Amino acid sequence: MSKIKPSKGAPYARILGVGGYRPTRVVPNEVILEKIDSSDEWIRSRSGIETRHWAGPEETVAAMSVEASGKALADAGVDASRIGAVVVSTVSHFAQTPAIATEIADRLGTDKAAAFDISAGCAGFGYGLTLAKGMVVEGSAEYVLVIGVERLSDLTDLEDRATAFLFGDGAGAVVVGPSREPAIGPTVWGSEGDKAETIKQTVSWDRFRIGDVSELPLDREGNVKFPAITQEGQAVFRWAVFEMAKVAQQALDAAGISPDDLDVFIPHQANVRIIDSMVKTLKLPEHVTVARDIRTTGNTSAASIPLAMERLLATGDAKSGDTALVIGFGAGLVYAATVVTLP
Residues 159, 313: contact at Cβ < 8 Å?
no
Q: Is the pLDDT score of 291 beyond 90?
A: yes
Q: Is the pLDDT score of 125 beyond 70?
A: yes
29 is catalytic: no
Q: Is the pLDDT score of 221 beyond 80?
A: no
Residues 86-107, mean pLDDT to the nearest whole number: 96
The closest of 329, 323, 276, 324 to 299, measured between CA atoms, is 329
Write the secondary structure of the chain as one string of H (helix), E (strand) and C (coil): CCCCCCCCCCCEEEEEEEEEECCCEEEEHHHHCCCCCCCHHHHHHHHCCCEEEECCCCCCHHHHHHHHHHHHHHHHCCCHHHEEEEEEECCCCCCCCCCHHHHHHHHHCCCCCEEEEECCHHHHHHHHHHHHHHHHHHCCCCEEEEEEEEEHHHHCCCCCCCCCCCECEEEEEEEEEEECCCCECCCEEEECHHHHHHEEECCCHHHHHHCCHHHCCECCCCCECCCCEEECHHHHHHHHHHHHHHHHHHHHHHHCCCHHHCCEEEECCCCHHHHHHHHHHHCCCCCCEECCCHHHHCECHHHHHHHHHHHHHHHCCCCCCCEEEEEEEECCCEEEEEEEECC
% residues pLDDT > 90 (the chain):
85
Residues 10-32, mean pLDDT to the nearest whole number: 97
Rounded Cα–Cα distance for residues 216 and 195 (Å) = 23
Residues 164, 295: contact at Cβ < 8 Å?
no
Residues 257-266, mean pLDDT to the nearest whole number: 97
Per-residue pLDDT of 152-165, as tens digits, reads 999 999 999 999 99
53 is catalytic: no
Least confident of 59-63, 206-210, 306-310: 206-210
Q: What is the CA radius of gyration of the chain?
A: 20
Confidence of residue 113 (pLDDT cuts 50, 70, 90): very high
Q: Who has greater pLDDT, 202 or 107?
A: 107
Confidence of residue 209 (pLDDT cuts 50, 70, 90): confident
Confidence of residue 223 (pLDDT cuts 50, 70, 90): confident
pTM above threshold 0.85: yes
Q: Is the pLDDT score of 305 beyond 90?
A: yes
pLDDT at position 8 is: 82
Measured in whole angstroms, how far is the alpha carbon of residue 41 from the centre of its chain?
Answer: 26
pLDDT at position 201 is: 86
93 is catalytic: no
- Work out the number of other CB atoms within 10 angstroms of the CB of residue 140: 14
Residues 63-67, mean pLDDT to the nearest whole number: 98
Residues 294-305, mean pLDDT to the nearest whole number: 98
Q: Is the pLDDT score of 212 beyond 70?
A: no
The closest of 133, 111, 94 to 16, measured between CA atoms, is 133
Confidence of residue 25 (pLDDT cuts 50, 70, 90): very high
Q: Which amino acid is at 183?
A: A
Annotated active-site residue in 29, 53, 122, 271: 122
Residues 286-295, mean pLDDT to the nearest whole number: 97
Confidence of residue 211 (pLDDT cuts 50, 70, 90): low
Q: Which residues neighbour 235 within 8 Å (Cβ) at sequence distance 6 or greater?
A: 195, 198
Q: Who has greater pLDDT, 218 or 68?
A: 68
pLDDT at position 214 is: 66
Q: Which amino acid is at 46?
A: R
Rounded to the nearest 10 degrees, what angle do helices 244-255 and 272-282 cross at?
A: 50
Rounded Cα–Cα distance for residues 16 and 76 (Å) = 5
Q: Is the pLDDT score of 6 beyond 90?
A: no
Confidence of residue 184 (pLDDT cuts 50, 70, 90): very high
Rounded to the nearest 10 degrees, what angle do helices 61-76 and 100-108 cross at?
A: 50
Annotated active-site residue in 29, 93, 268, 271: 268
